[in-house]
Amino acid sequence: MDCPRCGSSLKTEKYKGIEVDKCVSCEGMWLDYPELDQLEDTAMDEDDLKGSMITRQMGSEITCPRCHGAMQQFRYRYNELWLDVCEAEHGFWLDKGEEKRVIELMEQRIKDTNRSTGAEQDWARLIGRVRRRSLVKRIKDFMK
């Protein structure tokens, strides 16, 4: 397989335990369709918390190294990271460093989810205390 960016050969290697095809020149990376999810799972494996993966698609300047068909660029999970995907769902092209950015975004998603969960729990405790006080106050008022 050849690199869709520069035409150099892609070399099969392991990255985070996943077999990927990496360009020997520009250091971009081809991930077969399920491998992007596997890459995300190295940081966060709870799919229901990840959110929408593909948003705001538009045409790409590269073609799929598997089928040579059109690829689309998409905004990755509502972040300012644009990745390329084969329209026939053969896989994803990540330019140099984008694989690290995917992992960083998943790690940030975990932190945001934990912070949100903590805030919801704090809010529930506060509401519980306010309601209890109101009930106690109402009982005292009733007894007067």
Among the listed residues 85, 78, 77, 68, the one whose alpha carbon sits nearest the alpha carbon of residue 32: 85
The model's pLDDT over 57-87, given as tens digits with 9 standing for 90+, comes to 899 999 999 999 999 999 998 889 999 999 9
The model's pLDDT over 96-143, given as tens digits with 9 standing for 90+, comes to 999 999 999 989 988 877 665 555 555 566 566 655 556 666 667 767
Residue-level pLDDT at 115: 60
Burial (CB count <10 Å: 0-12, 13-18, 19+), residue 31: buried
In whole angstroms, give the CA distance from residue 94 to residue 86.
12
Task: Identify the three-state secondary structure at position 23.
Answer: strand
pLDDT over 80 (residue 49): no
The model's pLDDT over 10-48, given as tens digits with 9 standing for 90+, comes to 999 999 999 999 999 999 999 999 999 999 999 877 766
Residue-level pLDDT at 131: 59
Residue-level pLDDT at 136: 65
The number of CA neighbours under 13 Å toward the Cβ of 18 is: 20
Task: Tell me the pTM.
Answer: 0.74
Residue-level pLDDT at 47: 62
Domain boundaries, the chain: 10-118
Q: What angle do CA 96, 98, 102 make, to 5 degrees?
A: 160
Residue-level pLDDT at 55: 80
Residue-level pLDDT at 117: 55
In whole angstroms, give the CA distance from residue 22 to residue 95.
10
